[in-house]
Amino acid sequence: MKKLIPLLVVLTVVLAACGGSTPTPAATGGGGLPAEAAAVAAERGLTQDDIYAALKTYTPSGQLDPYIMFSSGGQGGQVLVIGVPSMRILKLIAVFTPESWQGYGYGGSGDETLAGGFMPNGDEIKWGDTHHPNLSETGGEYDGEFLFINDKANARLAVIDLRDFETKQLIKNPNAISDHGGAFVTPNTEYVIEGPQYATPIGWEYATLDEYQAKYRGLITFWKFDRAKGRVDESKSFQIELPPYWQDLCDAGKGPSEGWFFCNSINSEMATGGIESGGEPFEAGTTKNDTDYLHIFNWKKAEEVANSGGAEEINGIKVIRLETAIAEGILYFSPEPKSPHGSDVTPGGEFIVVGGKLDPHVTVYSFQKIQDAIAAGGLDTDTYGVPVIPLDKAMEAQVEIGLGPLHTVFDDKGYAYTSVFLDSVVARWTLGGPYDDKNPEEGWTLVQKLPVQYNIGHIAAAEGDTASPDGNYVVALNKWSIDRFANVGPLLPQNFQLVDITKTGDQMKVIYDMPIGMAEPHYAQIIKADKLKPFEIYPEIGWNPETMSVDPNAVTDPANARVERNGSNVEIWSTVVRSHFTPEHVEIEEGDRVVWHFTSLERTRDATHGFALGGYNINLSLEPGETQTIEFDANKSGTFVFYCTEFCSALHLEMLGYFLVEPK
Ligand code: RUQ
Ligand code: CUA
């Protein structure tokens, strides 16, 4: 009991920090802790740290989270929406993988969206390995309008509209078959960048590995975003050809470095593997050199060159050739220590932080020094002729933080937070230079290593990639959970740990463990919840979420619901409202082509209906006001049932209809 006595202090501090009022004396017991709470704490064996964590994260029913985190859903191919600090999952957004709750990929408009990401020959791809979500930005700040995410497995990009949290566009990269350094936006979302990963010939043309150095290439894509249309415009996008160095993570410059873009790379050795035939395995071959290359792009210059005839069109997209990129001053390198990972620009845009997976340091590059070195000229080049800025001419500082530094995020107090994979810690260190007077420590200094459970990959901070991060929280996206949760068999969940970073110095604390039992997320971004302005219901009855306007086939009055036959084409206009479909009997003939429109007449928030047609692999979600159209061949005769899949009213079970297909 003794250890619980100072809890009133904790309570007061926490509540004050949350902007709430301090507890009234009547609510507290003799020892400062409400008697009932003290009993619970004692019974559960909770320490003061546990109680602090509980108070920082417990979110009463109806209270809303101040932050929303958008996390990649990894090889599940989706995006997770999570409230912070409650760490409650609010939504799973279907992106690259069909998802039946949202009716995505089961007959409705999601089919077309998914088809946008199919292979150029039309072959279906129905999953993705989502890595890095990026929120759209205006002036270097998240604006809450759009979210982008890449699919590493197939080199694809997705656009999600945050008005309804739905995926609107998938694009298959016509010249790359794997990516990683995406999706990263420029400070005004002029471009969404998809950096490459494993080199292949452009357009993944066949070439043997003997021809690696001659024919294999890296390829970074600048997808032009048309904000008014809410879509990427492929015709205004461009790519830059790169040496086959396996470019990795990227970040856009901002402030003084706006117009520039930075990616690390991991295979300057140009290793080609082949362990089975006596070759060096990739893991050994790619880690021989002491340094790889930080790639430094002048994207404003690249844009000019691409738009003034300096690019070649390959498979329908403009490609700036490597020679052109070198000649025009678009591409520079600088060495980076030992298998780097993570390339993160500081909030003010002055520095780029790179973590070396096999180096105990983070290396901080100065944008100004890079510019000075470029201006001074006389640079040596790599094998392909790209100018290389010596490390000592580009480097501002190195901070030794531990084994396996990966990614770095920032707060409002001049601290940087780096995920350290092998050590399983979050390392807090201070940024020097212009950030020096923001925190109590001096210069570029390691401040705290906070153990996390276990093997942290990415790390995300509140508003962390903006020009003005918030502080308050970081989330450790841990790869292994091992013993943190009940055993659910040999495939374990990931562990997201919420870290309280409100206090300066070495006082970071883990305050929540959240199992992610649906694939392995990579990056996440955390936005202030009040920046998001999603619809509560669709703005008008008949709203088509694909066009974001009223659908010409919307039916606003059940009296106009009908079935029309034209030869073997049957078109149906249905209305949907609690608790019936109109019409309820649909009778057609085997072999008919069916086009079926649904309009939800609901104007009540959360009054969602579903449309499931058993035996035909069809399922829709019809949110208030939404119109959807499905098309299929009635290739099976029989008596089928359609019904509503959302428990929408007391008579939800009675919300059904018969679909009768008369045999030929
Ligand atoms: S990368 S941690 Cu895409 Cu670091 Cu996963
Ligand atoms: Cu509509 Cu259940």
Give tens-digit pLDDT for 369-380.
999 999 999 999
**Ligand 2 mean position to 539 CA, how many Å?**
21
**Ligand 2 mean position to 655 CA, how many Å?**
6
- If asked whether residues 582 and 515 sit together in one domain, one would say no
Residue nearest to atom 5 of ligand 1 (CA): 522
Is residue 510 in a domain?
Answer: yes
Q: Which residue, 62, 158, 138, 166, is CA-closest to 531?
A: 138
What mean pLDDT is reported for the chain?
94
- If asked whether residues 425 and 565 sit together in one domain, one would say no
User: How many angstroms separate the CA atoms of 576 and 620, rounded?
Assistant: 12
pLDDT in tens, 199-245: 999 999 999 999 999 999 999 999 999 999 999 999 999 999 999 99
Q: Label the pairing between strands 231-242 and 317-320.
A: parallel
Number of H helices, E strands in the chain: 10, 44
Ligand 2 atom at shortest distance from the alpha carbon of 578 = 1
- If asked whether residues 166 and 276 sit together in one domain, one would say yes
The bound ligand whose nearest atom lies closest to the alpha carbon of 606 is 2
**Ligand 1 mean position to 355 CA, how many Å?**
12
Ligand 2 atom at shortest distance from the alpha carbon of 579 = 1
Ligand 1 atom at shortest distance from the alpha carbon of 132 = 3
Is residue 581 in a domain?
Answer: yes
Ligand 2 atom at shortest distance from the alpha carbon of 610 = 1
Q: Label the pairing between strands 656-662 and 585-589.
A: parallel
The bound ligand whose nearest atom lies closest to the alpha carbon of 581 is 2
CB 478 within 8 A of CB 454: yes
Is residue 538 in a domain?
Answer: no
Q: What integer pLDDT is reported at residue 339 of this predicted model?
A: 87
- If asked whether residues 398 and 500 sit together in one domain, one would say yes
The bound ligand whose nearest atom lies closest to the alpha carbon of 576 is 2
**Ligand 1 mean position to 334 CA, how many Å?**
22
The bound ligand whose nearest atom lies closest to the alpha carbon of 182 is 1
Residue nearest to atom 1 of ligand 1 (CA): 522
537 pLDDT higher than 70: yes
Show the ligand 2 pocket: residues with CB < 6 angstroms: 579, 609, 644, 646-648, 652, 655
Strand partners, 388: 333, 380
**Ligand 1 mean position to 420 CA, how many Å?**
12
**Ligand 1 mean position to 131 CA, how many Å?**
7
pLDDT in tens, 443-487: 999 999 999 999 999 999 999 999 999 999 999 999 999 999 999
What's the Rg (C-alpha) of the chain? 27
- If asked whether residues 35 and 76 sit together in one domain, one would say no
Is residue 293 in a domain?
Answer: yes
92 pLDDT higher than 80: yes
Is residue 263 in a domain?
Answer: yes
CB 224 within 8 A of CB 236: yes
2 pLDDT higher than 90: no
- If asked whether residues 291 and 413 sit together in one domain, one would say yes
- If asked whether residues 588 and 637 sit together in one domain, one would say yes
Q: What integer pLDDT is reported at residue 31 of this predicted model?
A: 52
Ligand 1 atom at shortest distance from the alpha carbon of 341 = 4
Q: Which domain holds residue 575?
A: 543-662
3-state secondary structure at position 15? helix
**Ligand 1 mean position to 471 CA, how many Å?**
22
User: How many angstroms separate the CA atoms of 443 and 397, rounded?
Assistant: 10
Residue nearest to atom 2 of ligand 1 (CA): 457
Q: What integer pLDDT is reported at residue 356 of this predicted model?
A: 87
Residue nearest to atom 1 of ligand 2 (CA): 609
The bound ligand whose nearest atom lies closest to the alpha carbon of 657 is 2
Ligand 1 atom at shortest distance from the alpha carbon of 180 = 3
The one-letter amino acid at 74: G
Q: What integer pLDDT is reported at residue 22 of this predicted model?
A: 42
CATH number, domain with residue 643: 2.60.40.420
- If asked whether residues 100 and 15 sit together in one domain, one would say no
Ligand 2 atom at shortest distance from the alpha carbon of 653 = 2
Is residue 1 in a domain?
Answer: no
User: How many angstroms separate the CA atoms of 129 and 122, rounded?
Assistant: 20
pLDDT in tens, 46-69: 999 999 999 999 999 999 999 999
* C-alpha to C-alpha distances, 501 to 417, 441, 471, 524, nearest whole angstrom: 10, 15, 7, 17
Percent of the chain with pLDDT over 90: 94
Is residue 131 in a domain?
Answer: yes
The bound ligand whose nearest atom lies closest to the alpha carbon of 344 is 1
- If asked whether residues 612 and 503 sit together in one domain, one would say no
Q: What integer pLDDT is reported at residue 338 of this predicted model?
A: 86
Q: What integer pLDDT is reported at residue 18 of this predicted model?
A: 40
**Ligand 1 mean position to 132 CA, how many Å?**
8
**Ligand 2 mean position to 628 CA, how many Å?**
16
The pick from 248, 266, 406 for probing ligand 1's pocket by mutation, whose C-beta has the most ligand atoms within 8 angstroms, reads 406
- If asked whether residues 53 and 71 sit together in one domain, one would say no
pLDDT in tens, 568-597: 999 999 999 999 999 999 999 999 999 999
Domain end call among 531, 557, 586: 531
**Ligand 2 mean position to 582 CA, how many Å?**
13
Q: What integer pLDDT is reported at residue 25 of this predicted model?
A: 37
23 pLDDT higher than 60: no
In the structure, what pLDDT confidence band is assigned to residue 151 with cuts at 50, 70 and 90? very high
Report the Cα–Cα distance between both ends of the chain, in Å, rounded: 80
- If asked whether residues 359 and 223 sit together in one domain, one would say yes
7 pLDDT higher than 90: no
24 pLDDT higher than 70: no
29 pLDDT higher than 80: no
pLDDT in tens, 607-644: 999 999 999 999 999 999 999 999 999 999 999 999 99
The reported pTM is: 0.94
80 pLDDT higher than 70: yes
- If asked whether residues 403 and 443 sit together in one domain, one would say yes
**Ligand 2 mean position to 112 CA, how many Å?**
25
Q: What integer pLDDT is reported at residue 5 of this predicted model?
A: 39
Q: What integer pLDDT is reported at residue 358 of this predicted model?
A: 87
Is residue 598 in a domain?
Answer: yes
3-state secondary structure at position 292? strand
* C-alpha to C-alpha distances, 368 to 257, 388, 391, 394, nearest whole angstrom: 8, 16, 13, 8
Six-digit token pair at 504? 């300066």
User: How many angstroms separate the CA atoms of 196 and 216, rounded?
Assistant: 12
545 pLDDT higher than 70: yes
CATH number, domain with residue 527: 2.130.10.10
Asked, as a colleague might, if the bond just before 490 is cis with ω within 30 of 0, I would say: no
Show the ligand 1 pocket: residues with CB < 6 angstroms: 131-132, 180, 341, 406-407, 457-458, 522
Domain end call among 508, 531, 554: 531
Q: What is the DSSP letter of 104?
A: B
The one-letter amino acid at 211: E
The pick from 194, 426, 523 for probing ligand 1's pocket by mutation, whose C-beta has the most ligand atoms within 8 angstroms, reads 523
**Ligand 2 mean position to 572 CA, how many Å?**
19
In the structure, what pLDDT confidence band is assigned to residue 32 with cuts at 50, 70 and 90? low
> Domain tally for the chain?
3
